[in-house]
Every structure is written in structure tokens, then in C-alpha cells.
């Protein structure tokens, strides 16, 4: 059996990356959601919790013993060293979980693995493990408006998150294919995803 195509999927916050991942899944791809795996490692009893508690104290955990994501987000995006320390704990655990899920999916005969990784461009670790990279792109203002409406964040909070991510130009340089998700309907987006999916054998 030929090895599964490993397709990296990325885009800035509010780009519509999760929607594109869901559409690719309907075409038969197996989607590995790095954010979901990260949430699992920082949930109560998750693999990252002991190290987070040791590094940051109990103040960053909620009553259930999980990472208080709102508190951690505020701290991490206002202090780069805090973000670096947190990533050093969480990223290796998430990376191992991603590879395990990929191996399991390949064993079951999946022919296209989609690695939905927000920080794909920022991480040299991932690019060399992928065959192709698909970037979901839109304007910065569209990102801001979408996240403000979806998450109830202020403009400055969204801009802080965007500032910690790769610049739009960096993402576009890393892309083998780009899907522009700006000012188009969901039906039009689905059609574009279908066309791109065909290019990747879906």
C-alpha cells in the first residue's frame, strides 16, 4: 500500500481553516486536529498538567484541574517568555499524539492525512514531515472581524494573537497551494475545497 499523502493545513486565526478541514474530511481525508490534541493534553488529568503546575504553579489551573485557557492566553500573549515555556511543555506532547494518530490512520488504510496545525509555518519541525502545505488566506481585517464576532474578543486581543503567529507573507511563501477565503460564500468555499481536494487525490 502506498504511503498516505501528508497535507499540512494552516492559516491565521479567523482564516476559516477549521471550516476547510471539515470540508476536506467530507471528501475522505483523515483530519488530525492539533488544537484538539493540545486541549486534551491540558485538560484535567492531561499529560501536560503536572509540568504546567510545576512551571507556573496552581494559579493557572481551574477548579477542575485543567489549564485555565483564558488566563493562560492573556499571560502568554503579553509575555513572550511565558509563551515559550508553555510551548516547550505542550508542543512535544502534541507532536507525539499527532504522529500516533497519523500512524493509526495509515494502518487503517487512509490515503490522505490532513495535519491541521495552526503554527505549522512557525515550526521547522513540521514542514519536513509533510508532502504539501495548503494555506487558507484572507485579509488581516477579515481575520479581526471574524474573531471579534466569533469569540467576543476585543480588537487588541485579536491583534495580540495575530502578532504571535506567522505573518501572512510568511504563510504564503510556505504554501504549495493557497485557498483565498475572503468575501466568498460557504458554497463557493466548498467548491474551491473540492477542486483543491481533487489535486490531492480526494
Among 89, 109, 129, give the residue marking a domain's end: 109
User: How high is the pLDDT of residue 1?
Assistant: 54
What's the domain count of the chain?
A: 2
Predicted TM-score of the model (pTM): 0.84
Among 92, 109, 126, give the residue marking a domain's end: 109
Q: Average the pLDDT over 53-82 and give the result.
A: 84
User: Do 57 and 119 fall into the same domain?
Assistant: no
Q: What is the pLDDT of residues 24-46, one digit of tens each?
A: 999 999 999 998 999 999 999 99
Helix axes 140-151, 155-164, angle to 10 degrees: 120
DSSP class of residue 41 equals H
What are the phi and psi torsion angles at 14 (to 5°)?
80, 5
User: How high is the pLDDT of residue 201?
Assistant: 77
Q: Which residue has the higher pLDDT, 62 or 74?
A: 62
CATH assignment of the domain containing 119: 3.40.50.300
pLDDT band at residue 127 under the 50/70/90 scheme: confident
Which residue from 48, 106, 95 is spatially nearest to 72, judged by alpha carbons?
48
Q: Which residue has the higher pLDDT, 78 or 58?
A: 58
Q: Which domain holds residue 124?
A: 1-29+110-201
User: Do 128 and 190 fall into the same domain?
Assistant: yes
Amino acid at each position: 500500500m502506498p504511503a498516505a499523502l501528508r497535507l499540512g493545513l494552516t492559516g491565521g486565526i479567523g482564516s476559516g481553516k477549521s471550516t476547510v478541514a471539515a470540508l476536506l474530511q467530507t471528501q475522505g481525508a483523515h483530519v488530525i486536529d492539533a488544537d484538539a490534541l493540545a486541549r486534551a493534553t491540558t485538560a484535567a488529568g492531561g499529560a501536560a498538567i503536572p509540568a504546567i503546575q510545576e512551571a507556573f504553579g496552581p494559579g493557572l489551573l481551574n477548579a477542575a484541574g485543567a489549564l485555565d485557557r483564558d488566563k493562560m492566553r492573556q499571560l502568554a500573549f503579553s509575555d513572550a517568555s511565558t509563551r515559550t515555556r508553555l510551548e516547550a511543555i505542550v508542543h512535544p506532547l502534541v507532536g507525539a499524539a499527532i504522529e500516533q494518530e497519523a500512524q493509526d490512520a495509515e494502518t487503517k488504510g487512509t490515503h490522505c492525512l490532513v495535519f491541521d496545525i495552526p503554527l505549522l509555518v512557525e515550526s521547522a519541525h513540521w514542514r519536513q514531515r509533510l508532502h504539501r502545505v495548503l494555506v487558507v488566506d484572507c485579509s488581516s481585517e477579515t481575520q479581526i472581524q471574524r474573531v471579534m464576532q466569533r469569540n467576543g474578543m476585543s480588537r487588541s486581543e485579536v491583534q495580540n494573537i495575530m502578532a504571535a503567529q506567522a505573518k501572512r507573507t510568511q504563510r504564503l511563501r510556505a504554501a504549495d497551494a493557497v485557498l483565498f477565503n475572503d468575501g466568498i460564500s460557504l458554497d463557493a468555499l466548498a467548491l474551491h475545497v473540492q477542486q483543491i481536494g481533487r489535486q490531492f487525490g480526494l
